[in-house]
Amino acid sequence: MPIKINNDLPAKHILEQENIFIMPQNRAETQDIRPLKILLVNLMPTKIVTETQFLRLLSNTPIQVEIDFLHTSSHLATNTPQEHLIKFYETFADIKKRRYDGMIITGAPVEQMPFEEVDYWPELEQILEWSKRHVYSTLYICWAAQAGLYYHYQIPKYDLAKKIFGVFPHTLSHAHQDKLFRGFDDIFYVPHSRHTEVRRNDVLQHSELSIISESKEAGLFAVADQAQRRFFICGHPEYDPLTLKAEYDRDCAKGLKAAIPLNYYPDNNPMLPPVVKWRSTANLLFYNWLNYYVYQDTPYDLDKLSTT
């Protein structure tokens, strides 16, 4: 998918080196089509890394995509240059009158805090409420999946006795086949890195929710609402090959007793290069979302969006 992004965005140069089709803004404006409008709500502290990860995955179909980046104004970002935020990001106040075909809300390193103690929680609540009338389809990733299930359905998260950290096998629910996972293998792998979980029994109490995929080792992976306009993804399919390694190395450098990410290094030996088992899974997941739940279903006139 040709992605329309600002010519100066750092991700542009990285993705071009990977032979990913990036469409400069001036070329995109000469095409007589309506691009899909996607909002990326980036809650991660390393925003440049995260935006590059998601842009890479949104490049996999022939439809033009226009990306807006949003950061929360109620939180002071310390790991991303202010110049980058000013140039490439907007706040909720800037975009709240717009409508979007799709929205992605990233994870955030705040999972061990109660939702209400996160400094930008009131602002995120505003965004989630606004999305009911202004966004056709939303992907909630990792902590955002927990936050979305809590906000929309009052489903709590629970602390884990041991961090789920590694790359784990997943299967699809036989009771609920979904186009989001069309073309997937019977067993597929996804990275996880989290200290909390949402429990399947809590989800099953809500008839308007369906469990699409889960893992015996990592628990729930994908939950969808009945209208199939909200997808809660409880892992990190967007991770780069070295993301888990960077997290492990960081903890080791701090002198922490860091667990080796499971099923990631050959023979679980961190001296060896990690093996990527989830690249095709991630690409197909985002392709299916954009194709079946955004491009095929969203109205051409976004002013005609129905509420969810």
* Catalytic (active-site) positions: 142, 236, 238
Is 194 annotated in some ligand binding site? Answer: no
Q: How many residues does the chain have?
A: 308
DSSP collapsed to 3 states, 35-92: CEEEEEECCCCCHHHHHHHHHHHCCCCCCCEEEEEECCCCCCCCCCCHHHHHHHEECH
Give the CA angle between residues 118, 100, 52 to the nearest 5°.
Answer: 65
Strand partners, 70: 41, 90
How many CB atoms are located within 10 Å of the residue 193 CB? 21
Q: Is 157 annotated as a binding residue?
A: no
The strand pair at 89-90 and 3-5 is best described as unpaired
Contact 262, 166 (CB under 8 A): yes
131 carries a ligand binding annotation: no
In the annotated binding site, the residues are: 163, 193, 250
In the annotated binding site for substrate, the residues are: 163, 193, 250
